[in-house]
């Protein structure tokens, strides 16, 4: 018998090269990642957690339109590890790493080769560590850990049931534990419920396989009741906290009076979200057109509606596809794991498209799942993607001035728009190892510090330093817009109003805008200073003429740039005198001293 011919060496077939790429990406990326600033969503939850730990009441003292699970986690992080940015980012890294480890186990179980597992790990590292801070410390990303944990519990239960090692009672107990984990995920973000329902459905036939004759319905009922019981226990525990902490009436107010337009907004924006789908994380997101049919194929071939048996292997439909396009799973367990991974990806993608807002971080989990889906099917997409990104970065470093370098139109509109390809951050890598980093370093490793929802750390430090010289205390500083509320954290003071993302709250409707106005007026008598952001105060600055706001103001009591329209100067907070402006009088943050009536507020 002759030995099979040796396969030629190719980079994507090498586990060693895959793990080497992973190691390089981690060594380079983690120091930069840990020193990046927090995004305004993370600072909101950080402020909420600190407020709760200081005896405040969530929703009453810091407005939040979401369930409180993420705030609970942040409370634990801040109570145990302190208040540094690095502590929060290290926690994010641990959560994502744990979720990635579970996902790699699922990928291996679904048929990935050793090289496929290695390159999947490299792809996840090369993706998550090198995307904008907009996507870090977000609820959608952290939901992956309990979801993948619950998925593994379900797969273990199905395997045990197939082997006949489960009774209805053990199915119930195992399902209750899984339901408890799903319940924890729901408290982080309720949008995960459709994913839980889909995974429950695709596993029912497998659970029924080990049931005694005529008892398959009872087995499914034990699984369902157990899952619901665990979820209800998690739900009850959360409700106890809401009531005991005093947050319950304010929680109800948010969901009765503030979130009422959410579903209508989702329906109106659906076509926009569909059009944006391929462009969130190029080139990764472009592969959605291939990932969807591949996931559908995995689910259909797995036939989750049919009780497994010996006759199911091999599946004739699989043999219709060439080996280079589709690798047949080795056994029933691998086929089931691939079915689960495909169902997980499809349900998460559809939930993001149908029930979520058009934000990049919403699509981080599905992108990570897509990388794993390709690995499980032995499509090592991560290898060429990482190679192309590395080549682009190298070209930008060594290329002469031209359309694809720093000064060219192609760079501004193609490369800069996708910051994972920017090599400029690498020069800050040595500075990441200093004991304490400056705001300049944080801006250097950030992707979007010059965006209205991003934080310019150096200028926030300047504002905080000025306000310290004024001896400000709790509720004496009002941060306007989105980015300036980082000042509360820098100073360690309590906010005078509960709204951090003012545009979100005021934009929910006319009643909601009036309630924001009333709260600002109520708080104003105790407020000494207001911090506003020129990047947010006028849409004029957020577009092509952004450089105009760098011009200094005409005088010591008017530091606003001359291009601010007169009608905007009549609205709060621009109607208040100015006493400080970051960036040597040319920056984006302006400090107003509150000496005049509030008047109408301006929240574009």
pLDDT digits (tens, 9 = 90+) for 113-130: 999 999 999 999 999 999
Residue 484's nearest CA partner among 50, 40, 63, 133 is 40
Return the residue matching tokens 């790429």: 21
Rounded alpha-carbon distances, angstroms, from residue 491 to 215, 237, 480:
63, 34, 15
Rounded alpha-carbon distances, angstroms, from residue 182 to 55, 133, 154, 191, 591:
29, 27, 11, 11, 45
pLDDT over threshold 60, residue 405: no
From CA 200, how far away is CA 178, in angstroms rounded?
Answer: 11
pLDDT digits (tens, 9 = 90+) for 272-318: 888 888 888 878 888 999 999 999 989 988 877 776 654 455 555 55
From CA 496, how far away is CA 256, in angstroms rounded?
Answer: 24
From CA 201, how far away is CA 207, in angstroms rounded?
Answer: 10
Rounded alpha-carbon distances, angstroms, from residue 554 to 454, 532, 560, 562, 564:
27, 18, 8, 7, 12
Residue 575: DSSP 8-state? T
Please count the residues of the chain. 604
226/421: higher pLDDT: 226
HSE-up of 369 (CA within 13 Å, CB side)? 30
pLDDT digits (tens, 9 = 90+) for 557-582: 889 988 888 888 999 999 999 999 99
Residue 132: DSSP 8-state? -
Residue 12: DSSP 8-state? G
End-to-end CA distance of the chain: 76
Q: How much is the pTM?
A: 0.92
Q: Cα–chain-centroid distance for residue 397?
A: 30
3-state secondary structure of 62: strand
Structure tokens at 19: 């793990």
Instruction: Average the pLDDT over 341-356 and give the result.
Output: 95
């Amino acid at each position: 018998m002759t030995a099979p011919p040796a396969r030629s060496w190719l980079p994507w077939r090498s586990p060693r090269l895959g793990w080497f790429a992973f190691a390089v990406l981690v060594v380079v990326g983690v120091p930069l990642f840990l020193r990046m600033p927090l995004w305004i969503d993370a600072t909101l939850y950080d402020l909420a957690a600190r407020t709760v730990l200081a005896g405040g009441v969530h929703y009453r003292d810091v407005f939040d339109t979401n369930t409180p699970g993420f705030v609970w986690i942040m409370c634990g992080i801040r109570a145990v590890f302190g208040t540094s940015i690095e502590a929060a980012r290290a926690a994010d890294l641990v959560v994502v790493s744990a979720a990635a480890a579970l996902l790699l186990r699922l990928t291996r179980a679904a048929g990935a080769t050793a090289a496929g597992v290695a390159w999947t790990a490299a792809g996840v590292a090369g993706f998550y560590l090198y995307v904008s801070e907009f996507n870090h410390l977000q609820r959608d990303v952290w939901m992956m850990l309990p979801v993948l944990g619950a998925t593994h519990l379900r797969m273990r239960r199905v395997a045990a049931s197939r082997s006949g090692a489960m009774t209805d009672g053990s199915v119930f107990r195992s399902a209750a534990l899984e339901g408890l984990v799903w319940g924890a995920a729901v408290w982080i973000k309720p949008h995960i419920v459709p994913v839980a329902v889909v995974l429950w459905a695709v596993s029912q036939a497998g659970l029924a396989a080990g049931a005694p004759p005529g008892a398959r319905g009872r087995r499914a009922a034990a699984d369902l009741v157990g899952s619901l019981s665990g979820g209800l226990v998690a739900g009850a525990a959360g409700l106890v906290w809401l009531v005991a902490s005093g947050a319950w009436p304010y929680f109800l107010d948010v969901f009765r009076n503030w979130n009422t337009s959410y579903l209508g907004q989702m329906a109106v924006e659906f076509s926009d979200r569909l059009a944006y789908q391929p462009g969130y994380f190029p080139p990764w997101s472009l592969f959605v057109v291939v990932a969807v049919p591949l996931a559908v194929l995995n689910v259909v071939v797995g036939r989750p509606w049919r009780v497994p048996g010996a006759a199911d292997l091999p599946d004739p439909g699989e043999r219709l596809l060439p080996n280079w396009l589709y690798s047949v799973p080795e056994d029933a367990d691998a086929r089931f794991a691939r079915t689960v991974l495909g169902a997980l990806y499809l349900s998460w993608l559809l939930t993001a498209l149908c029930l979520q807002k058009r934000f990049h971080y919403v699509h981080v989990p599905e992108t990570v799942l897509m990388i794993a889906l390709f690995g499980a099917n032995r499509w090592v997409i991560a290898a060429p993607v990482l190679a192309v990104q590395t080549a682009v970065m190298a070209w930008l470093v060594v290329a002469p001035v031209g359309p694809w370098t720093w000064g060219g139109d192609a760079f501004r509109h193609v490369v800069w728009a996708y910051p994972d390809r920017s090599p400029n951050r690498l020069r800050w890598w040595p500075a990441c190892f200093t004991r304490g980093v400056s705001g300049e370093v944080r801006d250097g490793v950030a992707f979007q510090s010059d965006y209205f929802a991003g934080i310019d750390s150096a200028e926030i430090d300047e504002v905080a330093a000025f306000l310290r010289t004024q001896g400000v205390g709790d509720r004496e500083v009002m941060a306007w817009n989105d980015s300036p509320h980082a000042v509360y954290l820098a100073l360690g003071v309590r906010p005078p109003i509960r709204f951090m993302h003012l545009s979100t709250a005021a934009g929910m409707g006319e009643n909601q805008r009036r309630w924001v106005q009333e709260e600002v007026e109520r708080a104003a008598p105790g407020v000494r200073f207001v911090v506003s952001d020129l990047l947010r105060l006028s849409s004029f600055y957020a577009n092509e003429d952004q450089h105009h706001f760098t011009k200094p103001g005409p005088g010591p009591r008017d530091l606003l740039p001359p291009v601010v329209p007169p009608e905007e100067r009549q609205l709060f907070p621009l109607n208040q005198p100015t006493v400080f402006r970051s960036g040597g009088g040319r920056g984006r943050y302006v400090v107003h001293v509150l000496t005049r009536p509030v008047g109408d507020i301006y929240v574009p």
